[in-house]
Amino acid sequence: MKKIAFVFTQAPHGTSGGREGLDAVLATSALTEEIGLFFLSDGVFQLLPQQNPDKILSRNYIATFGVLALYDIDQCFICRDSLAARGLNDDFEMVLKAQFLERRQISEYLSSYDVVLTF
């Protein structure tokens, strides 16, 4: 089986990238268990709870990240450098468990995947 990485780089709700990426993760989980999720740049905002997308007439898909463990998706990584650049730190509340990595570590981890999809 191929190892597939999903890289989230966009903030939620401003574009459809985050929702489409999450849909792709769920669909792919039926085919393989070798899935990794990476949250970089503005993608770190995908993990913030208590968002109010209804105020901009958007669907709230963020809570779905919290059920990924039910799909045996537990390889989740968040860029510590991206957090710091956005005024967040390691102790902020997230909708799923993720391992904190430095930017250079992210590159090393991503190199172990056969396919990398960016959203």
Tell me, what's the pLDDT at 114? 96
Edge-first strand order for the sheet with 115-118 is: 99-101, 75-79, 35-39, 4-8, 115-118
Tell me, what's the pLDDT at 5? 98
For the chain, the domains span 4-118
Please state, in angstroms and rounded to a whole number, the distance separating the CA atoms of residues 13 and 35: 23
Per DSSP bridges, beta strands 35-39 and 99-101 are unpaired
User: 25 is written with which tokens?
Assistant: 């993760």
Is 4-118 in CATH node 3.40.1260.10? Answer: yes
Overall pTM surpassing 0.95 (yes/no): no
Closest of 65, 33, 35, 67 to residue 48, by C-alpha: 65
Enumerate residue ranges in the chain where pLDDT < 70: 53, 56
